[in-house]
Amino acid sequence: MTETVFPPAIMRGFVESLSAEIGPDTFSAALSNTGLPEEWADPAHFTALDGVRTAQAYARLQSALRTYYGRGARGIFLRVTAGLWERLLADSSFAIKAQSKLIRGLPKPMRRKPALDLLARIFGGREGTITVHSLDLDLLLVDKASVATRGQSDNAPICFVTLGLIRDCLFWADGRAYDVEERTCCATGARQCEFVITTGGFSQ
């Protein structure tokens, strides 16, 4: 069985955005109070990790913060993604930046799926891990690996970071706020995480 991997560069961006959102001191305190390594407060720590260990750390960190902040964790993660999406684009390869420029040059109704395909390419880890599909007027993003849910179990979907990235990616693409719902989640026992993006009301 292929082990789940996660790009260390994205983990660094996530930790940087998280620290900026809640403050370095608060972040360090949260790590200490949840029993996580203090060195995780330093984004550079993840540079030395391979993709498998990074995936494990990504899931553990989100799980610990959901426990630490309770219901407030969802709002924190959704705010973090605004900074994270910009960091991912800024730190991307020349090819990704060229693709993003092409997307922004398309008519607005034509930007949505290419933008999500770009997100899948950056965030997917392995090719085909995240896919984007058309659902009549709406869109469906399928995350087969769902790194954040590794070893997790919950009664409700928990992929707040992925959900937030979808929202912020689409807002970057055409300046519109879309309704995104995580319809199925691996943490609840589903085989894959599925996010429905309602786009039918934005045809122009």
- Number of residues that this document lists for the chain: 204
Model confidence over 32-88: pLDDT tens digits? 999 999 999 999 999 889 999 999 999 999 999 999 999 999 999 999 998 899 889
**What's the rounded mean pLDDT across residues 130-153?**
92
Strand partners, 194: 142, 184
Q: In this predicted structure, what is the pLDDT of residue 204?
A: 46
Q: In this predicted structure, what is the pLDDT of residue 2?
A: 61
Domain boundaries, the chain: 8-198
Q: In this predicted structure, what is the pLDDT of residue 1?
A: 44
The CATH class that applies to domain 8-198 reads alpha beta
Q: In this predicted structure, what is the pLDDT of residue 135?
A: 86
Model confidence over 82-127: pLDDT tens digits? 889 988 999 889 999 999 999 999 999 899 999 999 999 998 755 6
- Please state, as a whole number, how many other Cβ atoms lie within 10 Å of the Cβ of residue 136: 7
Average pLDDT of the chain is 91
Whose tokens are 């009301």? That residue is 201
